[in-house]
Amino acid sequence: MSVTTAPVTTTVSTTAPAKPRTTRRLIVGGLTATAVAAAATSTIAGVGELAGISLDVGGAPIPVAGFATLTAIFSVVGLVLALVLARKARRPRTAFVRTTVVLTALSLVPDVLVDAATVTKGLLMVAHLVAAAIVVPAIARRLSA
């Protein structure tokens, strides 16, 4: 008597949880964008200064390196916001983009109100917008829709 058996297939899931990998991608991408944005804003300030735009605000000059430093600090704050939203929000990307658009708009208010030449105010606003244009999309694309 001969017995024929059908082959048995077993499926084993070997995928790791997506959270650590996604978090790592978000952090690396966010920090890379932070570095690029810091370099961009300090370049804007340096070129503006070379073009004769005063970096004096309230009677004291902002050092070119100060642009990079503040860009880095606030970009990391944005990255932390994204990490929190990635864990807590139902739609992290949408929440992040909406929040950062509002925060970017609010960041322009002091530039308008500060005691500085009009062209200096414009340079400050351009620096804010360039930093946001670099950091926000880089972080947003790494968040789930």
Structural domain boundaries in the chain: 18-140
Query: Per-residue pLDDT averaged across 129-145, rounded?
Result: 96
pTM: 0.84
Question: Are 26 and 142 a contacting pair, CB within 8 Å?
Answer: yes
d(CA 86, CA 139): 11
d(CA 47, CA 38): 14
Instruction: Count Cβ atoms within 10 A of the Cβ of residue 87 and give its class: 0-12 exposed, 13-18 middle, 19 or more buried.
Output: exposed
Query: Per-residue pLDDT averaged across 62-82, rounded?
Result: 97
Question: Are 48 and 123 a contacting pair, CB within 8 Å?
Answer: yes
pLDDT bin (cut points 50, 70, 90) of residue 15 is very low
Of 62, 70, 61, 60, residue with least CA distance to 40: 70
Query: Is it the case that residue 70 has pLDDT exceeding 50?
Result: yes
